[in-house]
Amino acid sequence: DDLQAAEPHLSQHARILADNVLLPGAPLFVGYVVGRYDVAVHEVPEFMQPELEDWILVCTPKSSPAAASADLRELRQWGERVDEICWASSQDVVDWNSFQAELGPALRAWAARHGLQGPRRRVPGASELQAPSLPMSVRELRSWLKSRGVDSTGPKSALVRRFTALRGPS
């Protein structure tokens, strides 16, 4: 919805960057850009969970976009599952590995069936951007910081900076 609302204001040379496409997942975004954009898929390790993979999409508007013809029912179902697991993760620890084991192959297969193929590669040096490899939810991160008498409020990026400062580089 956000991209669709922004499109009338974008230059024909705009580049759309989308993170967290595979984890936690943005299946409806994938369905929307297929046919409308030239899409480069970059596989990267998920931030703070390097054992999991994520996609960053770089989308360039096509000069003559194809009419939307893809059946989005499967993607809508996955979108509902993504919403459910994201809400659950705000209340409790979730098993992202199991979820990715389900969503990853399904989203890759859908993308391939609808022409979103091409090089899938890791961004060079992406692993160097990882914080110390202690996979934890935001809830666990807040608890860890609080147990050490450190401010545990604010966005995830602030929590990660505090965690990294205390933990030191891995």
> Which pLDDT belongs to residue 150?
81
- Measure the CA–CA gap between 54 and 100, rounded to whole angstroms: 9
Q: How far is CA 89 from CA 44, 64, 103, 112, 118, in A?
A: 21, 40, 16, 29, 32
For residue 126, give the amino acid letter. Answer: A
Give the pTM.
0.64
pLDDT of res. 135: 53
Q: Are 16 and 33 in contact (CB under 8 A)?
A: yes
Residue 54, SS3 per DSSP: strand
Q: How far is CA 76 from CA 40, 93, 135, in A?
A: 22, 24, 28
Residues in the chain: 170
CA-nearest of 101, 83, 105, 73 to 24 is 83
The pLDDT tens digits for 74-110 are 899 999 999 999 999 888 888 888 898 898 888 888 8
149, two tokens? 């008498």
59-69 pLDDT, tens digit each: 988 877 666 66
What pLDDT does 136 receive?
65
With a cut of 70, list the residues of the chain below it in pLDDT.
65-70, 117-136, 167-170
